[in-house]
Amino acid sequence: MKSIITCIQLDIKFGDPDFNYQQVEEKIAQAVQQEDSTTVVLPELWTTGYDLTRLDEISDENGEKTCSFLQKLAKKYNIHIIGGSIAKKSDKHVTNTMFIVNNNGHLIHEYSKLHLFKLMNEHHYLTAGKEKGLFDLGGMKSAGVICYDIRFPEWIRAHTTMGAEVLFVVAEWPMPRLHHWKTLLLSRAIENQCYVVACNRAGSDPDNEFAGHSLIIDPWGNILAEADENPGLISAELDIDMVKQVRSQIPIFDDRLPNYYR
Ligand SMILES: NC(=O)CCC(=O)C(=O)O
């Protein structure tokens, strides 16, 4: 089974959801027309950026606006959308939440960031999620995680031991730690023998310059596509059979000894 995945590396306009919805609509149309994408991936907090002090005003009430926006585009273009993440307001909480919408326009899963990143003040404004990021995308066993989550290999492993073969990572990862971004993603791909599709943002906000360098990595650790630091699209064709090949060549999932790891 083959699929063409495109990361949409956006320059998110700080605190301006209307502008960002408009630019995402244009970029998704561009991905479908130019790259022949079957799945598109957006970055973290793409509607608001890290404008956390104004979340009361600009977060999405129950994620309704974003969900119907993504569902409309998924159906229109017959594509799956890994909807980056957005600030979702429910009751008294705001979560950093990813929506996954399939090509029929169905919301098949939502995942809220588990590990909040204190260096960017998330813990003051956001509530952590509790659920895993596992989902089946048209037969592709997948997991979605958000930015800082990639520093927790045990969290990623919890998903791959439950069957994930493709790891989607959405991020707003700053430039000064670009070498961490790349090394962590390569490590997650090699140690889990899975595809890693990682969509970062470009540009800057009042506090950070962001790294870009979205990456698509195969289960052997080869880089299939890499962006530079500018806004743009990167795409690659995934061959899911490669996951099984690599996992049978070096059978780490059979050779694990979890009783020794406590
Ligand atoms: N948005 C984030 O979670 C950023 C994580 C990050 O920069 C890191 O170094 O980890």
pLDDT tens-digit profile of 75-122?
999 999 999 999 999 988 999 999 999 999 999 999 999 999 999 999
- CATH code, 121: 3.60.110.10
pLDDT for the residue numbered 1 = 47
The rounded Å distance from CA 46 to ligand 1 centre is: 15
**How many structural domains does the chain have?**
1
Whether residue 147 lies in the annotated active site: yes
148 CA to centre of ligand 1 in angstroms: 4
Q: What is the pTM of this model?
A: 0.98
Cβ neighbours of residue 174 closer than 8 Å, sequence gap 6 or more: 208, 209, 210, 211
- Active site annotation includes 7: no
Tokens at residue 35, please? 């790259």
Cβ 151 under 6 angstroms from ligand 1: yes
- Distance in angstroms (rounded) separating the CA atoms of residues 41 and 225: 14
| CA angle (8, 193, 251) in 5-degree steps | 170
Mean pLDDT by 10 residues, the chain (262 residues): 88 98 98 96 98 97 98 98 98 95 98 98 97 96 98 98 98 98 98 98 98 98 98 97 98 97 91
Please indicate whether residue 113 is annotated as part of the active site. yes
Cβ contacts of residue 26 below 8 Å, gap of 6+?
none
Residue-range definition of the domain harbouring residue 183: 2-260
Q: What's the CA-to-centroid distance between 115 and ligand 1, angstroms? A: 10
**Ligand 1, residues 177, 185, 205, 207: which to mutate, most atoms within 8 A of Cβ?**
177
Catalytic residue among 44, 110, 165, 172: 44
DSSP 7-38: EEE-BPPTT-HHHHHHHHHHHHHHIIIII--S
